[in-house]
Structure 1
């Protein structure tokens, strides 16, 4: 698994538009604009617009995640609870927590070696849940400041 994907020259482009632009294009088609005109105006492929209007493109693009959305949400809740108690976790702690979570729930994931995720999975997990979790560096404070009330 590569850390930073470099696109090959001449490779096909995927999703070169935002969700807002796509929604505007779909609304324009539903109001009576032709799919071809909307395609040229919003610079979205015509077949993509046709499929979105008819509900054929419902799935996410890309590879599925190693854990289900429900399992990932449970992990996020556990990590938030740890943070509220003042327990900071390193990347290794996160990996061990996931391994223990999988063991307790009798889940065997073939993507993980020895049922323990790698660092790349952790980076992707933090990126997927960046609105709830963040990676920070601790900052030491002097004893005098810590003792003040």
Structure 2
């Protein structure tokens, strides 16, 4: 990636506010409380209520309750993720190790790492421009992994740095 491309991506890296409003329409998806769904399923499986009465009592659509009672809810809801769970966990471990070594990463760095990973693994994500995840993906990634935080690198005073031979040897041993 050339410096001009990197400069272009860094200019885009400004986080803008997102105000998503759900559009109302005839189709209503998941407009029920998951706790009520669990209670309704339990009542139907115990035999105390029929599916029809449980759907009316707990305000859950009949077909939804029927699907859940009969375990026919096998399809995942929504688009499959860009990275599998195992791949995301590996990325999180790498980011935590980098932060531990004193190399925190910004949003562009993380997105660029994901782009390089997708390119080298031969995956092509159509939703990403040039396989580079957007800021919305980054915000969702950070929300999925609350143990990660964005920290900016700071200059360290010489007294606090305390760099000696053992610290340098340990650092290079970790790099290997």
The TM-score by the shorter chain falls in which range? 0.7 to 0.9
Structure 1 gaps of 5+ residues are: none
RMSD: 2.8
Asked if structure 1 preserves the Cα contact closer than 8 Å seen for 2:106 and 2:151, the reply is: no
TM-score normalised by L of structure 2: 0.67
Alignment match, 1:96: 112
> 1:80-95 alignment to 2 at 5 Å?
80-95=96-111
Match of residue 30, structure 1, among 26, 32, 45: 45
The change in CA–CA distance for 1:70 and 1:28 in structure 2 (over 3 A counts) is same
How many residues are matched? 144
Structure 2 gaps of 5+ residues are: 1-17, 163-176
The CA deviation at 1:119 is 1.3
> 1:1-149 alignment to 2 at 5 Å?
3-32=18-47, 33-130=49-146, 132-134=147-149, 136-138=150-152, 143=157, 147=160
TM-score normalised by L of structure 1: 0.77
Which protein is richer in helix relative to its size? 2
The 2-side partners of 1:40 and 1:85 are apart by: 57
The 1-side partners of 2:148 and 2:56 are apart by: 39
